[in-house]
Structure 1
């Protein structure tokens, strides 16, 4: 007689509540997080726009302001600004950089999107990464200064203007810029005036298997239950590679299967099968590219019905700051700053009751505290488009 293993069943509401709680976005029972703890809990704060990262931290860390986030980044150096998941700019805890660089550098490269005559050979990629590491050791260089160094150390081919950019063309070597960050030889340094600078943090990445296994477990702790496809989408990795990674972890007993409502088979870290009994409650405001909005899957449950039409851009999360009501997206919002005054417009998809409006006012006031200004709420239509 065959013995059938009993599988935990997890509802969407339970999963959503646990994810929110673990990022201090839930109710009063959520843990109080500091700056680096908040960044660690969300698995990196998207920082292409630094003010969005500051808000992402501030809504999770009571009492924290943007000044404290910047101090952690540039003074205490407990945070690092570098290229993270999907090759995008993130704030990451400095103590976790060996794991991140080990895992990110182990992700197989996707098929080149550039035309054949614009691509670099594997040998050229390695030459560029080596040149970047050498040029940035003990130095803080702007991208133009780094470009001159890379071309001088590799050859004129690295400077060929073949990469489409915002205004014009970038040199060929720039396609390996984020890879240098993933290898641990490049991070952002403080701006020089308006120009970003880079330096070499000298990070020694963890071995690939050790790092990727650790990252999967961290991801499942924050956003589980999840499938390999969910993980691949969040990380910007090939699905087949993610599937093999999960298979190996399952065989080793490091992760275990559960039944996830609306998904079927999904995974959590081994032994991590406790979920809240009640669903999330309350009102929250999340900024552009917030990690919770991007990483929580399945996306159509977080952005149900009209929320998907209003707050997603072609299925892509993050282009609009979002209003969460009871854990799901229920509107969008926008801020406009003038001196210390911050005008916040919130567009709910359905009318909010008086209690919800009062809670929203408190959330808006908190945004003002984080940004070191005075925020004022208007409930109405958001007329600006999504972030480019």
Structure 2
């Protein structure tokens, strides 16, 4: 690529780790950030497991409680639960929703469904319009939403053709994430054990997605701020888009990016955002399932060195195991099991911990227990629980 601005910087992996830890508030937890501030800095908190997303946020802000995160999500509405990068469930700052929806709705379309299952572009538009209309002033379960969408569009939308969790789902459901990308849908509070969906316009008056090109530039710069230096291929993996498309986006923003080298390999930052911490990467952290740091940071072979590649990744995919992070790299896995107020936390380090590291781990266990409102008990041993799906 031809992107280059000024004198090229030569960075070490250690410097990159220190930068990313600082940007993620994992070197020193913030003392005054709001949940939405932290989530913005992470480019979203992966919320496939909502309790894990809550803990991801809680570990980054000193003294923050689980009630604080839930208040931000369901009462203050400064956070929104919706479909984000890779079509997966995320918590995003509500104030950033115009940028995110503008960017996600501008991504190249990829449809992995068989031809006899797919919605046509026109049918997709019909479904999204129906969803927007029925959720305007409502919070509906998936079954209630399905009835409304089929009634508004036609029987074809209800054809049970989509495989889903040992069941068959109606055809229209393949447009669920698309509706979120276009700003027509987000998650509402659970009704008992059932998920609900609603419209983000209910608490963001005047909301509409931002211009696609502007929004994509914004998301790329946010990504590079949190996870840079990074390459187009790494950005493509994070966003689940074709590599060529990502390379073209980088090239289109050539004047706003600068090239650096990380241990001799080329990577990119947003121009003017090359500040590095003066101290080396430090700290022991217990990152939960799908924490943004482990999912978004690359190269994998440096973030998950040696035995970590086989033990803390699932088929090369990050996030499926909670990770013991030491000085910015994966150094173990862990698991917690709850019984009443007691939290049994098992940590499996990949190498012996020094006395100082063990003290930091004890502090981190206490913080996890505090946030999860439990009484933690630490065991150093083998984690026998497999990868999360």
TM-score (norm 2): 0.95
Shift of 1:351: 0.9
Note if contact 1:27-1:281 (Cα within 8 Å) is conserved in structure 2: no
Q: How does 1:240-259 map to 2 (within 5 A)?
A: 240-250=244-254, 253-259=255-261
Note if contact 2:342-2:374 (Cα within 8 Å) is conserved in structure 1: yes
Aligned to 2:185: 186
Aligned to 2:155: 156
Deviations 1:150-201 (A, max 9, x none): 1111111111111111131111111110111111110111111111111111
Shift of 1:7: 1.0
Q: How does 1:88-107 map to 2 (within 5 A)?
A: 88-107=88-107
Deviations 1:209-233 (A, max 9, x none): 1100111111111111111111111
Aligned residues: 380
Deviations 1:323-343 (A, max 9, x none): 011111010000001111111
Rate the CA distance shift 1:32–1:332 in 2: closer, same or farther, 3 A.
farther
* Aligned counterparts of 2:32 and 2:288: Cα–Cα separation in 1: 19
Note if contact 1:84-1:90 (Cα within 8 Å) is conserved in structure 2: yes
Q: Structure 1 stretch 221-230 or stretch 312-321: which is displaced more?
A: 221-230
SS at match of 1:266: strand
Confirm or deny that 1:212 pairs with 2:216: yes
Deviations 1:276-298 (A, max 9, x none): 34431121110000000000011
Deviations 1:68-89 (A, max 9, x none): 1110000110000000000000
Structure 1: which 5+ residue stretches go unaligned?
Answer: none
SS at match of 2:302: helix
Note if contact 2:26-2:285 (Cα within 8 Å) is conserved in structure 1: yes
Aligned to 2:370: 369
Aligned to 2:194: 195
Q: How does 1:1-388 map to 2 (within 5 A)?
A: 6-27=7-28, 33-110=33-110, 112-202=111-201, 203-250=207-254, 253-261=255-263, 264-388=265-389
Note if contact 2:185-2:198 (Cα within 8 Å) is conserved in structure 1: yes
Deviations 1:2-36 (A, max 9, x none): xx9631112111111101001110148x7753311
SS at match of 1:131: helix
Structure 2: which 5+ residue stretches go unaligned?
Answer: 202-206
* Aligned counterparts of 1:162 and 1:142: Cα–Cα separation in 2: 20
